[in-house]
Amino acid sequence: MLRAPGIGPARFARLLEHFGSAAATFAADGAELRSLELPDAALDYLGRPDWRRVEEDLAWLERPGNHLLQLDDSRYPPLLRQIAYPPPLLFVHGDPNCLRLPQLAIVGSRNPTPLGRETAQRFAAHLAECGLLITSGLALGIDAAAHQGALASGRTIAVMGTSLDRVYPAQHRDLAHAIAERGALVSEFSIGTSPAAGNFPQRNRLISGLALGVLVVEAAAQSGSLITARLANEQGREVFAIPGSIHNPLAKGCHALIRQGAKLVETADDILEELGALAATTRETASGPPAVAPSAALDEEYQQLLAAMGDEPVGIDLLVDRCGLTAEAVSSMLLILELEGYAAAIPGGLYGRLKI
């Protein structure tokens, strides 16, 4: 079902709840499937699955170091299981057990200043040495610096915006191999998934969902890192930001986060003091029974955004005008609405409401 168009984590969970298993879903008759108001493309796929592509997933799984974690797998990260509609399947290359250990996500600009890059590397190295796994997205800039710093003294996890049979950006191939040897590469995308703009906000929710908190090192006012920070807030995670010069445009995003309540960080010890008790609790949870994912209800702001979408496909710019929110906020909220089955992305950069 993972490959069925129009079936994201929310619909995947509802189908499993209704039918009891993926096999029973594929065996269901068309009338029952249509009664669940699935998109036509999903109905077509469930009636005629592309088993050749499924065999590609299974062939990848047979290779050394590759793993596929289901929600009920004891190795599935408990913090990620607690977010709204967690990924039903996680592809992992490396050590899947490290996903259950206490993590801090470090994100930031793809084009950082030399000082920003050095700061990310030093923070990651110190925090990894103190026992936190460093999680990031393998992107250029701050992500890469965080992974490299963590590898110097500890372990790290890279959450991918592609499937695990390809590395993006390509120049990080050696870095990806090093991460897999000392930690893990993680993706919710099935084998053969190429980089696409819509994949990366979706990837960001995993970065924040895996971690106890998110540290933003450098970020412009329109940075995608602010989406990760917003998702972290919505998931109940801590958000940290490093301030910078008022003359540095890459400090504006961090300053905005601090004004919104993110914790100002000057040293790595500031983070350790804040996360110490949480990290200890997570270590206990990692050896205990799986957590149960809570259901999520839409708050008033999300309901207003849905109302602003109307009955016709609409672009982000128009939604910004209608709602009075920033483009970053609208993008983040649209991702959540997609994951929960309330909205869908439409070719051309548009979004439309779905029947629930």
Could you tell me if 282 and 306 lie in one domain? no
Per-residue model confidence (pLDDT) at position 278: 63
Instruction: Give, for 62, the enclosing helix (H) or strand (E).
Output: none
Per-residue model confidence (pLDDT) at position 300: 81
Could you tell me if 204 and 339 lie in one domain? no
Helix residue spans in the chain (DSSP H): 9-19, 22-27, 30-34, 40-47, 51-61, 78-81, 114-129, 142-151, 173-182, 199-210, 225-234, 252-259, 268-286, 300-309, 316-323, 327-339
Considering the entire predicted model, what is its pTM? 0.77
What pLDDT digit, counting tens, does each position of 294-344 carry?
A: 334 577 888 888 888 887 788 898 998 888 888 888 888 888 887 777 887
Per-residue model confidence (pLDDT) at position 279: 62
* CATH number of the CATH domain containing 148: 3.40.50.450
Q: Is 262 within the bounds of a domain? A: yes
List of the chain residues with pLDDT < 70:
1, 277-297, 347-348, 354-356
Q: Is 16 within the bounds of a domain? A: yes
Could you tell me if 268 and 306 lie in one domain? no
Could you tell me if 137 and 256 lie in one domain? yes
Backbone angles phi, psi at 159, to 5 degrees: -95, 125
Do residues 223 and 252 make contact, with C-beta atoms less than 8 angstroms apart? no
Last residue of a domain, one of 286, 320, 336: 286
What pLDDT digit, counting tens, does each position of 206-246 carry?
A: 999 999 999 999 999 988 899 999 999 999 999 999 999 88
Q: Is 321 within the bounds of a domain? A: yes
* CATH number of the CATH domain containing 311: 1.10.10.10
Could you tell me if 222 and 180 lie in one domain? yes
Could you tell me if 256 and 326 lie in one domain? no
Query: In which domain, by residue range, is 26 found?
Result: 9-49
Rounded to whole angstroms, the Cα distance separating 202 from 181 reads: 25
Q: Is 188 within the bounds of a domain? A: yes
DSSP 223-266: -THHHHHHHHHHTT-EEEE----TT-GGGHHHHHHHHTTPEE-S
The number of folded domains in the chain is: 3
Q: Put residue 243 in one of left, alpha, beta given phi > 0 → left and psi -120 to 50 → alpha.
A: beta
Could you tell me if 111 and 213 lie in one domain? yes
Could you tell me if 119 and 235 lie in one domain? yes
Bridge partners (DSSP) listed for residue 351: 314, 345
Could you tell me if 279 and 306 lie in one domain? no
Per-residue model confidence (pLDDT) at position 277: 64
Per-residue model confidence (pLDDT) at position 247: 87
Per-residue model confidence (pLDDT) at position 276: 73
Could you tell me if 29 and 158 lie in one domain? no
Per-residue model confidence (pLDDT) at position 292: 31
Could you tell me if 334 and 247 lie in one domain? no
Could you tell me if 26 and 144 lie in one domain? no
